[in-house]
Chain A
C-alpha cells in the first residue's frame, strides 16, 4: 500500500528540486518536520500568516535572517496584537496595522511580569480573553528569543536513541556544552557553513554545506528521517494545493452560472471538467498528507472538513454523470468551496499535521471507523443538499413532474448510501470502543451524535415507506438532517464531556447557531411556501 502510494505521488507530482534549506529536519511538537513547516508555523503564531506578506519574505528566509542578524530581527514588526487592551497594557500605541516588534513589546512585558505569572497559575478555562492573549503573546516573545539564538530549533538528532528520544539544538552543544559525537559535529559545522555562505551570498558554499548536511543525516540510522517525505512536505507548503482546488471549484461555479444564460451545452461540459480537475487536485492533496504522516486521511477536525468536502464533490460528479444537467456541478462546486473556506479557518490555528493522543494512535481504526463515518457525514450532507434542491424545484416549477421525480429518486438513493456509511461507521466505532476499552456503546456525546444521524435517516426512510411522509416531507426531513450532521460533527465538542471532545472555540458555537437558524428558515420556509401555493391553486 505504502509503495503504491509513493508510486502515485511520484508519477503525478512535479519534479522535485534537490535537498534545500527548507527541507532540513527539525523535531518540533512531537514529530520530525521540515524547517519550512517549522518556520511557517512560528510565523503563523506570531504574525497571523504563514509568510511576511508586506515585504514578500518567505517564512524560512525570515527565520534565517533572524538567526544571522538578531539585532535587526528584533526591530521587525512581526507580532500581531489583535486586542487594543493588550496593546495598551504594554504601553504600546494602537495602530491600524497593529503589528509590533520584539523591541517594542519586551519592555512592557517585563513590567507586566507579575501579572503574567498570575495568569500562568490559572487554568486555561478560567482565563479571560485579554489574559489568554497577553499570555500567548508572552509565550511567543519567549519563543522568538529562543529562535533567535537557535535554542528552540532542535535540528540535531541524538547519537544513540530511539525515535522517541528528544533532539538537540545547536544551543545545547555550543552554550550548554552537551558532549557531541562526530555525526552531530558534522551537522553543526554544515549548518554553520551554510549560514556563513548565506551571509556572504556564496551560493556554491551553501550548496556544498547542504550536501554535507544531507550526508551527515544519513548516519543517524535510529531516527525516522525520511528526506523524500520532508521534501514533499515543504513542496506542499509552497504548492498550496487546496487553494488550487478551491480555484477550480469557484471557476466551475462561474462557468455553470454562465451556462444558464449562454452556450448551455459547452459551458456546462466545461464546468463539469473544471469540477473534476478540482477534485483531482483535492484528492491528490489528501494523498500527499497521508503520505507525509503515514496515516489515514481523517485524524483531526480540520482533516474531516477537507475529507467531507472531497466526498461531497465526488458524489456530485457521480450525480452529474447520471443527470448531465448541471445540478451535480452546482451542488459540488458550491459545497466544495464553502467547506474549503471552513477548512482554511481551521488551518489558521496552527500546524495541521499534529500528533495524536494515545487512544487515537491506531492506524487500523482511523482507517476504518473514522474514514467510514466521515464518508457518512459527507453523503448525509449531500443528501441534505439534494433535499434542498428538491424543495427549490418544488417551489420553482411544480408542474414538471419528471424532473421532480428524478430528483426525488436521486435523493432517496443518496440517503441510502449515506445510511450505509453512517450506520456501518457508527457500528465500527462501537467495535473500536469494544476492542479498546471493553464497551461497545457508552452513550458518549460523539457516539450519540452519530447515532442521531442514523436514527433520523432510518426514521425518514420508514416514514416514506409507510406513507407517513410524502416526497416533499422526505426532502424536508433530509434537508433538516444537515442540522443533525452539523450538531454531531461540531456540536458535540461544545459539550466538552467524553472522549471525543477535541479542539473548540467560541466562534464555532456562533457559526453553528447561525447555520441551524438558516437551515430551519430555508427548509421550513420552502416547504410551507410550496404547501401554501398548492392550496391557492386548488382553490
Chain B
C-alpha cells in the first residue's frame, strides 16, 4: 500500500500535469494584470488555493499547484532507480528544486512587507502595510499618545456592532468604502453627522487598478460618549485634520490608516537625493541618508537603489519618493522574510547539478551519430 502511494505520488506524470496547469495559470494571470492590476491578479491566480472560473467552477490556484508539485518532487527522491551514479546530477538538481519550492512556501506563509514613508527631518518607528487598514483611537493627551486599535484586517462587515470596553464605547460599522470620493455638502447636515461629515460626504469611487492607489474610508457611528459627541463620523486614509472626541478631558484622534507594525528601532531621514543623467529627465540614482536610532544610539547610513539596509531581520530598500515643495519624502520598502536564503542556496545547488549532468551527457548528445551503430 505504502509502495503504491509512493509510486503514485512520485510519478513524473504528476509533474507534467501540474506544470502544465501552472503554465496556464501564469499565462492567464499575466494577461489579467492588464485589466485588474498586478496585486489583484496575484491574489486570484497565484496566492490562492483555488479560484472560480465563470463564477462557479472551482479550479486549483497557484498555492495548491505548487504544494502538489512539492509533494511530487519530495516523493520522487525516494524512487530506487534514481539513485545511480550517472544520475547524480539529476538528483542534485531535484534536491535544489525542492529547496526552492520549500523556500517559496516559507516566504509565502511567514514573510511580511510594507512601506516606511518618511519626510526629510522626520523620525519613524513603524512600517505601514501595503494594503491592510486599521481603525485607531489615539489618546493625544497622554505623553506617549496611547493608541487603541479598534480592529484591523479583516475589516468587519457593515452593520457590525463592537462594544469597546476599555473606553466604554459602542462602535457601529456603517460603511466601508474601498476608494472614497469626497464631496462638499450643499445643504446643512443633520446634527447626527460629526466632524468632517458635518461639511462633506464620503462617496464610493471605482477602485483603481493598482490597489495601493485607492484611498479607503470608513463611516462609523460612535455611542457612549455624550449627547454632543455621539454620532456618525467619516474617516479616510490621509485625512489632514483628524476627527476627534473627548473622554474625561482627554483628546482622542480617530484614525483610519494603513496597518502599522512597530519595529524596535527608528529611522530618521536626513536627506533624500535624486541624481539625474545630465540634461535629461532620466534618473541615474536615488538615495536616502538616514540615522538609524536604536537604544538612544544613532548611526548614519546611506540607503541607495540596489544597496539596501539590513538590520534586525528587516531589510529596507529605496523604493520610491514623493517630491515636495520645501522637502522631499522618501519611501522605503521594509521586508521581513525568513525564506530569503533559500533561492540563493537552491540556485547554486541546481546549477551545480545541471552542470554535472551536462558535463556527463552533453558530449554524447551533440555528436552526429553514436559510435555503436
**Residues of A at under 8 Å CB distance from B?**
27-31, 154, 163-167, 318-319, 322-325, 355-359, 361-362, 365, 402-403, 405-406, 409-410, 412-413, 416-417, 419-420, 423-424, 427-428, 430-431, 434-445, 448-449, 451-452, 455-456, 458-459, 462-463, 465-466, 468, 492, 495-498
Contact = CB atoms under 8 A, between A and B. Distances in A.
Given A412-B365, A458-B19, A358 B308 contact: no
Contact of A410 (B31, B279, B308, B365): B365
Given A416-B358, A455-B19, A466-B12, A27 B278 contact: yes
Given A30-B282, A459-B20, A466-B13, A443 B38 contact: yes
Given A420-B351, A438-B335, 19 more contacts: A30-B279, A164-B276, A164-B284, A166-B278, A323-B367, A362-B306, A410-B365, A413-B365, A424-B350, A427-B346, A431-B347, A437-B319, A440-B340, A441-B104, A443-B29, A444-B38, A462-B19, A466-B11, A468-B13
Interface string B21-56: 011001101110110011001100110000000000
B358 A434 contact: no
Contact of A452 (B26, B278, B354, B361): B26
Contacts of A449: 30
Which of B16, B29, B34, B343 lies at the interface centre, i.e. has the most chain A CB atoms within 10 A of its CB? B16
A161 to B, nearest CB: 9
B361 A359 contact: no
Given A166-B278, A438-B113, A358 B283 contact: yes
B373 to A, nearest CB: 6
B296 interface: no
A30 B284 CA distance: 9
25 contacts: A28-B279, A30-B280, A154-B279, A164-B276, A164-B277, A164-B278, A357-B283, A362-B305, A420-B351, A424-B351, A431-B343, A434-B340, A438-B334, A440-B107, A440-B340, A441-B104, A444-B38, A448-B26, A448-B29, A448-B30, A459-B23, A462-B12, A466-B16, A468-B13, A497-B34
A413 B366 contact: yes
Interface in B298-337: 305-306, 308, 315, 317, 319, 333-335, 337
B161 to A, nearest CB: 39
A419 B361 CA distance: 15
A358 B23 contact: no
Interface size class of B (residues with CB under 8 A): 35 or more
Nearest to A488: B30
Given A318-B366, A359-B305, A495 B33 contact: yes
Contacts of B38: 442-444, 497-498
Nearest to A446: B30
Interface string B123-148: 00000000000000000000000000
Contacts of A28: 279
B179 to A, nearest CB: 19
Contact of A325 (B41, B361, B368): B368
A355 B15 contact: no
Which of A403, A416, A437 lies at the interface centre, i.e. has the most chain B CB atoms within 10 A of its CB? A437
Contacts of B100: 427
A405 B370 CA distance: 9
Nearest to A469: B16
B205 interface: no
Which of A361, A365, A428, A442 lies at the interface centre, i.e. has the most chain B CB atoms within 10 A of its CB? A361
Contacts of B362: 413, 416-417
B65 to A, nearest CB: 11
A68 B285 CA distance: 39
Contacts of A443: 29-30, 33, 38, 41-42, 45-46
Contacts of A154: 279
B369 interface: yes
B31 to A, nearest CB: 7
A362 to B, nearest CB: 5
Interface of B: 11-13, 15-16, 19-20, 22-23, 26-27, 29-31, 33-34, 37-38, 41-42, 45-46, 100, 104, 107, 113, 275-280, 282-286, 305-306, 308, 315, 317, 319, 333-335, 337, 339-340, 343-344, 346-347, 350-351, 354-355, 357-358, 361-362, 364-370, 373
A359 B285 CA distance: 8
Contacts of A423: 350-351, 354
Contacts of A365: 306
A492 B31 CA distance: 9
B343 A430 contact: yes
Contacts of B11: 466
B83 to A, nearest CB: 16
B343 A427 contact: yes
Which of B100, B279, B357, B362 lies at the interface centre, i.e. has the most chain A CB atoms within 10 A of its CB? B279
B368 A322 contact: yes
Contacts of B284: 30, 164, 355, 358, 361
B129 to A, nearest CB: 14
Nearest to B107: A440
A436 B33 CA distance: 23
Contact of A495 (B30, B365, B373): B30
A75 to B, nearest CB: 30
A361 B317 contact: no
Nearest to A424: B351
Nearest to B355: A420
B279 A29 contact: yes
Which of B275, B284, B306 lies at the interface centre, i.e. has the most chain A CB atoms within 10 A of its CB? B306
B350 A409 contact: no
B343 A409 contact: no
Contacts of B340: 434, 440
Given A431-B344, A466-B11, A495-B30, A358 B305 contact: yes
B13 A164 contact: no
Contacts of A164: 275-278, 284
Nearest to A452: B26
A492 B16 CA distance: 25
Contacts of B37: 497
Contacts of B308: 435-436, 438
Given A31-B277, A361-B284, A466-B11, A436 B306 contact: yes
B336 to A, nearest CB: 9
B26 A455 contact: yes
What are the 7 A-B residue pairs with the smallest beta carbon separation, nearest first?
A: A30-B277, A413-B365, A438-B335, A466-B12, A427-B347, A322-B366, A30-B280
A495 B126 CA distance: 35
Contacts of A459: 15-16, 19-20, 23
B353 to A, nearest CB: 10
A456 B279 contact: no
B26 A416 contact: no
Nearest to B353: A420
B22 A455 contact: yes
Contact of B343 (A29, A167, A434, A451): A434
B282 A452 contact: no
A417 B358 contact: yes
Contacts of A410: 365-366
B88 to A, nearest CB: 15
Nearest to B357: A416
B367 A463 contact: no
B103 to A, nearest CB: 8
Nearest to A154: B279
